[in-house]
């Protein structure tokens, strides 16, 4: 039997208190205490309850950036506790495709980082011509897979907002924008590489590739463990059918 609303209230308040402590900046000793407390709360909290706690923090004065910072830390705290396996949904379910997108994009980012690392070992733009060509192809593909975000923003997010869950989609949308800007930054670096020396370019490109990879990996964890789980709790079968039809109409990027 699930935890009742009355029983969940203290858990939600505990989550909010913990997130406030995390956001305000704690000592290492306090952070270890927070980890222990958080693990205790996880056995009682659902993803929907976590989303509701975040929503209430916004109403109480948290900015979205405060919440993003707190989310980054609290996700790290329960990374080893929440089940990491993919969400089990029927074949053809929108979440199945969203998770497939994650695998494809993570593989692209792995390759981007690897090729950027190979480029750094070269001595000049001429020596790294093959790697530069590959990086250009990968950047174009990463811009193409923005289709994943467009589908979520136009189908899943509005329905969650209709159910009163406004902040989780808002945070995901903000992170989508940040990652898109990071992709554009990489493309600009590549396009303007002749304006700097090779070593400076190679260092900057690798650093920014790593940043994008880390951003997306963390974002994916939030989507899977909070956004999708909350959506599965509140959306009806008819709403999931509508999402699937709208995603089909928007289209999908190709894996290759």
Q: What is the pLDDT of residues 215-227, one digit of tens each?
A: 887 788 888 888 9
DSSP state, 3?
A: P
Q: Where are the beta strands (DSSP E) in the chain?
A: none
Q: Cα separation of 159 and 174, whole Å?
A: 17
pLDDT of 157: 96
Distance (Å, whole) CA 76 – CA 212: 18
Is residue 191 classed as helix, strand or coil in its secondary structure? Answer: helix
Per-residue pLDDT of the chain (256 residues; tens, 9 = 90+): 344 433 447 888 888 888 787 777 667 777 777 767 766 676 676 656 776 787 788 788 887 667 666 655 555 554 444 445 678 999 999 999 999 998 899 889 989 989 999 999 999 999 999 999 999 999 999 999 999 999 999 999 999 999 999 888 999 999 999 999 999 999 999 999 999 999 999 989 998 998 888 788 778 888 888 899 999 999 999 999 999 999 999 999 987 6
Structural domain contains residue 179: yes
Cβ contacts of 17 within 8 Å, gap of 6 or more: none
Is there a domain that residue 84 lies in? no
* Distance from chain centroid for Cα 63: 18
Do 134 and 10 share a structural domain?
A: no
Number of domains within the chain: 2
In the listed set 29, 52, 78, which residue is the last one of a domain according to the structure? 78
Among candidate residues 45, 78, 111, the one where a domain is terminated: 78
Whether 255 maps to a domain, the answer reads no
Task: Give me the long-range contacts of 189-194 (CB less than 8 A, separation at least 24).
Answer: 190/132, 190/135, 190/136, 190/139, 193/125, 193/132, 194/125
The pLDDT assigned to 81 comes to 44
The end-to-end CA distance of the chain, in Å, is 45
Sign of the C-alpha dihedral computed for residues 116, 150, 47 and 225 taken in this order: negative
Residue 141 shares a structural domain with residue 231? yes
Range of the domain at 70: 5-78
What per-residue confidence (pLDDT) applies to 134? Answer: 97
Q: Do 244 and 93 meet the contact criterion of CB atoms below 8 Å apart?
A: yes
My answer on whether 128 and 230 are in the same domain is: yes
Tell me: do 115 and 43 sit in the same domain: no
Are 74 and 194 part of one and the same domain? no
Same domain, 35 and 99: no
| Whether residue 115 is found in the same domain as residue 204 | yes
Are 171 and 214 contained in the same domain?
Answer: yes
Integer Cα distance of 41 and 15 in angstroms: 7
Q: What is the pLDDT of residue 5?
A: 38
Q: Are residues 44 and 171 in the same domain?
A: no
Same domain (yes/no): 104, 214: yes
The three-state secondary structure class of 227 is helix
> Long-range contacts of range 29-36, CB-CB < 8 Å, 24 or more positions apart?
34/77, 35/77
3-state SS, residue 127: coil
């Amino acid at each position: 039997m699930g935890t009742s609303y009355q029983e969940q209230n203290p858990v939600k308040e505990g989550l909010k208190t913990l997130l406030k402590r995390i956001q305000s900046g704690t000592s290492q000793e306090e952070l270890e205490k927070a980890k222990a407390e958080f693990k205790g709360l996880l056995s009682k909290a659902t993803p929907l309850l976590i989303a509701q706690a975040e929503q209430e923090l916004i109403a109480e004065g948290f900015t979205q950036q405060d919440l993003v910072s707190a989310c980054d830390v609290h996700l790290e705290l329960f990374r080893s506790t929440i089940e990491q396996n993919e969400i089990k949904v029927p074949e053809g379910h929108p979440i199945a495709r969203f998770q497939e997108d994650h695998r494809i994009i993570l593989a692209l980012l792995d390759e981007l980082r690897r090729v950027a690392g190979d480029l750094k070992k070269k001595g000049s733009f001429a020596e790294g011509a093959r790697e530069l060509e590959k990086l250009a192809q990968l950047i174009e593909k990463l811009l193409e897979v923005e289709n994943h975000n467009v589908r979520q923003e136009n189908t899943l997010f509005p329905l969650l907002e209709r159910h009163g869950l406004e902040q989780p989609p808002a945070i995901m949308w903000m992170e989508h924008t940040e990652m898109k800007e990071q992709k554009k930054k990489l493309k600009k670096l590549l396009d303007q590489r002749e304006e700097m020396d090779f070593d400076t370019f190679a260092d900057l490109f690798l650093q920014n590739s790593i940043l994008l990879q880390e951003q997306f990996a963390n974002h994916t964890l939030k989507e899977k463990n909070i956004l999708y789980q909350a959506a599965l709790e509140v959306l009806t079968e008819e709403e999931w059918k509508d999402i699937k039809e709208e995603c089909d109409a928007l289209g999908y990027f190709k894996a290759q």
